[in-house]
Amino acid sequence: MRPLVATIDLAAIRHNYAVAKRCAPGRQAFAVVKANAYGHGVREVVSALHEEADGFAVASLEEAAEVRAMHGEARILLLEGCFAADELPMAAHLGLDLVVQGAEQIEALLAAELSRPLNVWLKLDSGMHRLGLAPVAVRELFPRLRGAAQVAELNLLSHFACADERGHSLTEVQLECFLDLLDLDFDQRSLANSAAVLMIPAAHMDWLRPGIMLYGASPFSDLSAAELGLKPAMTLSAQLIAVREVAVGESVGYGAGWVAERPSRIGTVSCGYADGYPRHAPSGTPLYVGGRRAALAGRVSMDMLSVDLTDLPEAAVGDAVELWGANLPIDEVAHAAGTIGYELLTKVTARVPRRYKA
């Protein structure tokens, strides 16, 4: 068996969900489990949160059906709504909480014959300008939806664009835009993503939507997950499968981009970009080998990468290598690679076996 595994700590995910709830006493929280629970395995994550979570949030009807099969009672929020009118009967059958984010979705809902009314979340475009309705449209549509046979609860939802950048002026603009509509008699309100859960109490409303924080990564560039009280959920670990000596002036890897400036020991690691490790990670990106930090050397290959072991003379074939996880924060690796933890987690491919710790 190829020595590469993603170990998922389900107790850490439960801990991180509890952190979200403690940030906003009395509020409820949709655990965001879209994209296969950010690469962690939706079945296992939903099972781990079965008793704790007030609800779950997903991106598609297919994801919603998978969650419903595991949890018959939880509220399941369909974040982008139905992509076609013919999905609405299934949304009703599954008993989903349905986002409506544009005129087309709203007209399709009002024309649908459903087996039961849905909890509807009217999405406000408060300033991100990706999905949602302008404030004036929300006011115009409110009475039509409030009286519609297809609607059980009528709720309000929006999404922050810059909550991860503390003090960004757009965040206050978006919050004010949302608050300005609360004279309308919405049943429930939801605004806070992970960053707002952790740092913007005024945005907590009735329902939180923690996502990246559940998986032990930080939404902030200037605050680590550990500083926020979060525990890493995924540890991606491999092995040294070869070690060689490289003379001064010799190169390593495709493109010969890394050249030894001193007599060097180079290790080969059983992980590459086909496993989800970022191909664009530059030399110097940190790895954790045998209990010590080491640096990526040269270009990442499809199935392997190289690490500079010159300062780790005891490192040997068979030693464990952590790509990120319990000893090496994913956010640090992501920063070195010029990306974010979200992307690294969701890109761990299906060929990497997941093992679960309860």
Binding-site members are 130, 302
Among candidates 177, 180, 174, which has minimal Cα distance to 195?
174
Cβ-in-10-Å burial (0-12, 13-18, 19+) of 13 comes to: buried
Instruction: Mark whether 21 is an active-site residue.
Output: no
At 327, which helix (H) or strand (E)?
none
Residues in the chain: 358
Q: Are 197 and 214 in contact (CB under 8 A)?
A: no
Other Cβ atoms within 10 Å of 119 Cβ, number: 18
3-state secondary structure 228-244: CCCCCCEEEEEEEEEEE
Q: What are phi and psi of 292, to 5 degrees?
A: -135, 155
3-state secondary structure 143-208: HHHHCCCCEEEEEEECCCCCCCCCCCHHHHHHHHHHHCCCCCCCCCEECCCHHHHHHCHHHCCCEE
Among candidates 216, 206, 160, which has minimal Cα distance to 18?
216
Q: Binding site for substrate: which residues?
A: 130, 302
The two beta strands, 189-190 and 258-259, are: unpaired
Q: Tell me, what DSSP letter sits at residue 338?
A: T
Residue of 17, 38, 231, 254 marked catalytic: 254
User: What is the per-residue DSSP string for 235-279?
Assistant: EEEEEEEEEEEE-TT-EESGGG-EE-SSSEEEEEES--GGGT--T
Residue of 34, 123, 273, 277 marked catalytic: 34
Query: Residue 104 is encoded by which pair of tokens?
Result: 């087309």
| 114 half-sphere exposure, CB direction, 13 A CA radius | 27
Q: Are 158 and 132 in contact (CB under 8 A)?
A: yes
Instruction: Mark whether 123 is an active-site residue.
Output: no
Separation of alpha carbons 114 and 109, rounded Å: 9
| Catalytic residue numbers, as ranges | 34, 254
